[in-house]
Each structure stands twice: as C-alpha cells, then as structure tokens.
Amino acid sequence: MNRPRFTSLLQILLPCLLLLGGRARAADDPLAGWRSGANVHPVTPHTDRHVIHAYFNACPESPDGRYVLYYTSTTPEGEEGDLRVLERATGSERVIARGIHCEDAHRAACQQWCNDGRTVVYHDNRDGRWFVLAIDLATGQEKILA
C-alpha cells in the first residue's frame, strides 16, 4: 500500500504568500511603472472623427519617435477613411492616403511604419479587391506591393 507523500506546510504556504504579496503591491498602484516620466494625453484633439492607431499589432510611433501614424474616419462604422501622420513636436497633421476602405474599424488599414520610418505600408479594398500599398513619405508616391 502506497502512503501519500506529505509536503511541509512551509512548501505550500511560501509560494502563496509570495504571490499574494506581489498582488498587494500591484493593487496599491498597478500603473506605478507608467507614472514616472510619462505624459499621458490624447494624440489628437479631434472629437469629430474616429482616430485609430494600430497599437495592438504595430507601434504607431515612427522609429525615431517624431511622428504618430493613425487611421481616421468620419463614418459611423469607421470602415472608410484616411491615413494621417502627426508630427509630435508641432501637432501638425498630414493626410498621406485618402478614401481607404477597411474590413473593419478594429484593424483600420493595418498601417505600419516600414523602411526605417521612410515608408508607410497599409491595406485597402478597391472595387472588391484587397491591395497592400506603400507610401513614400518624402514624395507621397504610392506603390502597390500586392
């Protein structure tokens, strides 16, 4: 007959105490790591349109940190709109692509920085066909990639 193996009370309680202690510190101020040296504010002051950046799959900030890339739409569902670049230092906003048709507002145009910030890549549905496009920011020239 096999006897059950008993673990010491300390081996059971110690991990629990460590886990609870860590949670208590986080519960005191879960944003503590973000409060020091951070300036949290809306990217744009516009309330007349949807402003959506691709935060969940690509960084909206340019590699050098000077610009923020985002999709905007004035339609209720947010599925048709423009790509814009905002210069952080001045607040100057520039439209780089107009009349983009998206699958849904959550993904927007799947816009992202490319080529060390010199190019923006995005997708667009044109007449029922999906395209992947690149915009050269210096020239504004658009190129179909796929």
Record the pTM.
0.68
Instruction: Fill in the DSSP letter of residue 17.
Output: H
Range of the domain at 131: 50-144
- Count of domains for the chain: 1
Instruction: Kindly state whether residue 101 falls inside one of the protein's structural domains.
Output: yes
Q: Which region holds residue 53: left if phi is over 0, alpha if psi is between -120 and 50, else beta?
A: beta
Instruction: Kindly state whether residue 9 falls inside one of the protein's structural domains.
Output: no
Q: Where are the beta strands (DSSP E) in 40-146?
A: 50-52, 67-73, 80-87, 93-101, 112-114, 119-126, 129-136, 142-144
Instruction: Kindly state whether residue 19 falls inside one of the protein's structural domains.
Output: no
Q: Which pLDDT tens digits describe the chain residue by residue (146 residues)?
A: 555 454 454 455 555 445 555 554 556 787 777 777 766 666 677 676 666 666 667 788 899 999 999 988 888 888 899 999 999 999 999 999 999 998 876 778 889 999 999 999 999 999 999 999 999 999 999 999 99
Cα distances from 65 to residues 13, 74, 85, 86, 124, in angstroms, run 47, 27, 12, 11, 26
